[in-house]
Homo-oligomer: A and B are copies of this chain.
Amino acid sequence: MSFGFGVCREPSIELEGENNMSISVPPSNMHQHLHNVLQSGEGADISFKVKGETFPAHRIILASRSSVFRAELFGSMSESTASCIEIEDMEPQIFKALLQFIYTDMFPPSDDHTDEGVELDGDIMAQHLIVAADRYALDRLRLICEETLAKKINADNVVTTLALAAQHNCQQLKELCLDYISSSKILDSLIETDVFESFLVSCPSIYKQLLKKVASNRRT
């Protein structure tokens, strides 16, 4: 059949505006398409070796999502011509989650995360992914992990969380930790602990910020 549209003019019988006929359009499935490509490894042009596990990937997708990968894979660094890059200071499970975020913009991943033996606790995963997100300049992933940890701040973990936040450019999480410490009644107990003291010694800039907040709270 060769009845081309736009070729014949139709007779002008009646002119109407928009009607209320509608067709339902499914939501975006791009994350699923890119996830399939990650899973299959088809067309992979780079691979990463992480503590014995190998992860095939696609340079252009990594570079489009991370300025650090972009510099590594398309810049003048030695990695730009390598076909395999070794990553020594990261757990395979963390690197896998990192790749899944890069390809899908989702964390935690909605799919095969549970069928692979031991699963990392969500908070531990978020802590490790903050380090990875900071390293590869994945700001949105870092914020998602900051949010996960912010919800769990309590007297037991606030110093650890504050240390992590201070080390890895988590401005919002750092502020929440400082607010929590300075506003809650735990400060007096915390001050006496070794972990708090060694943290303050190692991070004097935080010490000043905390002092300011406490002083400000006591004035109001």
- Residues in A lying within 8 Å of B, measured CB to CB: 1-6, 8-16, 18-19, 21-26, 28-31, 33-34, 36-37, 42-43, 45, 58-61, 63-65, 74, 104-105, 124, 127, 140, 143-144, 146-147, 150-161, 163-164, 166-167, 172-173, 176, 179-180, 186, 189-190, 193, 195, 198-199, 202-203
A42 to chain B, nearest CB (A): 6
Residue pair A202, B3 in contact (C-beta under 8 Å): yes
Residue pair B202, A2 in contact (C-beta under 8 Å): yes
Residue pair B33, A150 in contact (C-beta under 8 Å): no
- In angstroms, Cα B45 to Cα A4, docked, is 34
Copies of this chain, whole number: 2
- In angstroms, Cα B12 to Cα A159, docked, is 12
What residues on B are CB-neighbors of A176 within 8 Å?
Answer: 21, 23
What residues on B are CB-neighbors of A160 within 8 Å?
Answer: 5-6, 8, 10
17 residue pairs of the A-B complex, CB under 8 angstroms, read A3-B163, A3-B203, A5-B161, A10-B159, A10-B160, A11-B156, A14-B186, A15-B156, A19-B153, A21-B179, A23-B176, A24-B143, A26-B140, A29-B140, A33-B65, A42-B60, A43-B74
